[in-house]
Structure 1
């Protein structure tokens, strides 16, 4: 006969994370830094999009690069001559507000206007962990399959901007990018959904325009 153990489920971690997230946002606001939590699966194009936005946007930009081993993405960002802090999450599949708070001490906050926080490549784990960012931008690619939104609905419900990336190869991989757009809007009718291709430049101006719009509303 198996022994039965009583397990008390605690919500302290989530409550503590929420408090730290609010503190992070106060730090951002005091420094006049607009922070974006950038989420998406591995290979969706998060890092490449951030690199492109660094080169195209006329702001003082900083980056927090989170990953199980962060040195690879952080190294790419360093090549664009912007301040970047790599956060190693080890076995964890998401960033949390506590990790982000530590990274802020290593960034020149007074010399940053726009901060990209690149979360770990995962469409599930980061959902419940608020980092204190002003908006969330989710990046998915058509190469992940046009049923990706249906399979991972929660991450899209809290998104402010959703980028459907790599639309230039949609036909080649047998994906319907318009279905992906419609699936997102069914879950979150108020979200901004943008079809993009870093190869062709499609959607980049629209992404920049919407980020700037959110910044003005801060």
Structure 2
């Protein structure tokens, strides 16, 4: 009986989150806004990638920076002169649609054409929680180990773009970039996989192009 109750509770939570995610999506689309959800572990390079997208596109971007304590990344991003709202999750290891809805309410949506969500640094918890975005990009660093992709299949199966970052460090940490790409393609054959070294700008144009293609479809 306890197991059945647990399943029912989880189903109710996910159903409620889905309804709120749909509401967020409608809010975004009513304002003509395209939304990208960035996921990835701590240190993968999500924040740096978001900063580079802000600095290298003409989009009017707003950012929702999610974390257990969000002020650190929010302050970094705010220095790029874009509206940012920090979403503190406390003990939770993911954002949910409820938090995102509050964040969208505090952004000047009428002045934006893109909203970027930076999810909490984790490859497991965010998987099941839709937020109302149009696109999910997962960022993984070679420093996490070249078995990281195959160890976390669901997040890579549910993403539109996979960015394998910090490839300039692959030799130093003994990571096989080709293996990571092959693992990603095995899990998600139709996904776009982009290798990047954001320190030198490698891969950035391709990432921006992938966002533009999804945005214009």
Query: Which residues in structure 2 correspond to 1:30-69 (within 5 Å)?
Result: 30-69=30-69
1:168/1:200 contact within 8 Å kept: no
Query: Which residues in structure 2 correspond to 1:99-110 (within 5 Å)?
Result: 99-110=99-110
Task: Give 1:28's aligned residue.
Answer: 28
What does the per-residue CA deviation read over 1:110-148, in whole Å, with 9 as the maximum and x for residues that have no partner? 111111100000000000000010010000000000000
Query: Which residues in structure 2 correspond to 1:160-175 (within 5 Å)?
Result: 160-175=160-175
Query: Which residues in structure 2 correspond to 1:130-145 (within 5 Å)?
Result: 130-145=130-145
1:152 matches 2:152: yes
SS of corresponding position for 2:65? strand
Query: Aligned partners of 1:39 and 1:113: how far apart in 2?
Result: 21
What does the per-residue CA deviation read over 1:147-205, in whole Å, with 9 as the maximum and x for residues that have no partner? 00011111001000110000011111100111101101100111111000111111111
In the alignment of these two chains, the number of paired residues is: 213
Query: Aligned partners of 1:101 and 1:89: how far apart in 2?
Result: 13
Return structure 1 stretches of 4+ with deviation > 6 angstroms.
none
Task: Give 2:212's aligned residue.
Answer: 212
Query: Aligned partners of 1:41 and 1:157: how far apart in 2?
Result: 16
TM-score normalized with structure 1 length: 0.96
1:87 matches 2:83: no
Higher helix share: 2
SS of corresponding position for 2:121? coil
Query: Aligned partners of 1:123 and 1:201: how far apart in 2?
Result: 24
Query: Aligned partners of 2:100 and 2:116: how far apart in 1?
Result: 11
Please list every run of 5 or more consecutive structure 2 residues that lacks an aligned counterpart in the other structure.
none
Task: Give 1:6's aligned residue.
Answer: 2
Query: Aligned partners of 1:202 and 1:138: how far apart in 2?
Result: 17
TM-score normalized with structure 2 length: 0.97
Task: Give 2:186's aligned residue.
Answer: 186
